[in-house]
Structure 1
């Protein structure tokens, strides 16, 4: 009898993160629901369990060293290893983001969550991922982080942004560096673009559902051992850097 696959999804109490957790749980996996807010986390876990998912709550603030260390200890004690990590938690940053007038605190906040949070969580959980036979890491990025799309005349990449958009470009670059370092370890790490989904991150203005947005993360979480690493993908295939 094969071992149950263990996954952790950050920011999984709602939106795309919740749908990723639900999709992975549908495979019979045990899924950690990482979230800061205790009430929302417990509500999400209860809803997932009611749908038949083997879900468990993981108190997790990706911007806090102690919180991330605690999450790693919880998974160590409850599962002993981690097979799949989906770094989904993210923020857009508050207020206007025109580069000539942006508040630097807005930029710092976006980078702290969207980039440093990913590094913090990934590094804390790498020892557990190394115990997996087929470890996978998925970093939830965005098509707006593509410099190719940003610089293509007529390209649709959203409003001018000095915080959120560059934070996703930064995340893409970090993903490539992880892939280079981990290339011979069996750990596959890729960036995923969910598309413009209707979530509270954008005031529910998106044109795709969170479930549709979760599909690419689920696909990258289940890559075969000879699958790609260091790539950027959406539902249609490779996204240009």
Structure 2
């Protein structure tokens, strides 16, 4: 049985739950993490009741000690990790304008979405190498693209998000821009160990109450592209940016 780690699985309505469920149905043992262990354990019990193989650990992306401890725990039971899905992310609801944004708040977002993801990858890297065909999926966003027609920095808000106009470009987008750059760096650094690293935009997804009213699509649709990137063959793409398996502009 192959093994996957999916970060940021704390509720049934999020992408993390759907990713874990989909990989579990493909006969992976899936380790799920959340900032609060009891949340991940509740989700694990729910998925195990469906006949899937799921276990839970605690990872707080703002707490590097928790990441190191989680890696140590996993290594004892699952020294080989085939897939790492860096799904955990944070977008705070404070002001989004350049002049009004609380920079302490932004630092929390950046440390979660970029530095935390980097730290998780460092701690679990040896287990991915042991697989011989490791896959890393960084769940990103078209908001981190320059020229994506709907979400990108240049065109935001595009036609798909016209109801949000004149909402300002979010600082969250800046964190995803950095994550996309980190994806390229990882893909180059890890190529010699046969680890494929790609960024995936799940699209505008209904993970928040009311978002479907603004055109967000069901989680069941968005998860497909993430699972595709997590299960690529050895000759699959590396260092790319995708949505639904199709390339996106950086």
Q: TM-score, normalised by structure 2?
A: 0.90
Is structure 2 residue 159 aligned with structure 1 residue 151?
no
Distance 2:229 2:136 in 1: 8
Task: Give the aligned length.
Answer: 236
Is structure 2 residue 134 aligned with structure 1 residue 124?
no
RMSD: 1.6
Between 1:155-164 and 1:54-63, the stretch displaced more is: 155-164
Residue of structure 2 aligned with 1:190, choices 193, 198, 208: 198
Distance 2:36 2:87 in 1: 15
Deviations 1:216-239 (Å, cap 9, x if unpaired)? 110000000000111000016011
Distance 1:153 1:62, change over 3 A: closer
Residues 70-219 of structure 1 aligned to structure 2 (within 5 Å): 70-149=69-148, 150-152=153-155, 155-156=158-159, 159-200=167-208, 203-206=209-212, 207-219=216-228
Q: Secondary structure at the match of 2:206?
A: coil
Find the counterpart in structure 1 of residue 4 from structure 2: 7
Stretches of structure 2 lacking an aligned partner (at least 5 in a row)? none
Between 1:79-88 and 1:35-44, the stretch displaced more is: 35-44
Deviations 1:151-197 (Å, cap 9, x if unpaired)? 14873566423520100001001100111112222000000110111
Is structure 2 residue 236 aligned with structure 1 residue 227?
yes
Distance 2:182 2:172 in 1: 15
Distance 2:175 2:237 in 1: 23
Q: TM-score, normalised by structure 1?
A: 0.93
Is structure 2 residue 29 aligned with structure 1 residue 22?
no
Q: Secondary structure at the match of 1:184?
A: helix
Distance 1:154 1:77, change over 3 A: closer
Distance 1:94 1:154, change over 3 A: closer
Distance 2:155 2:220 in 1: 29
- The answer (yes or no) to whether the contact 1:75–1:82 under 8 Å persists in 2 is no
Between 1:152-161 and 1:114-123, the stretch displaced more is: 152-161
Stretches of structure 1 lacking an aligned partner (at least 5 in a row)? none
Distance 1:153 1:90 in 2: 20
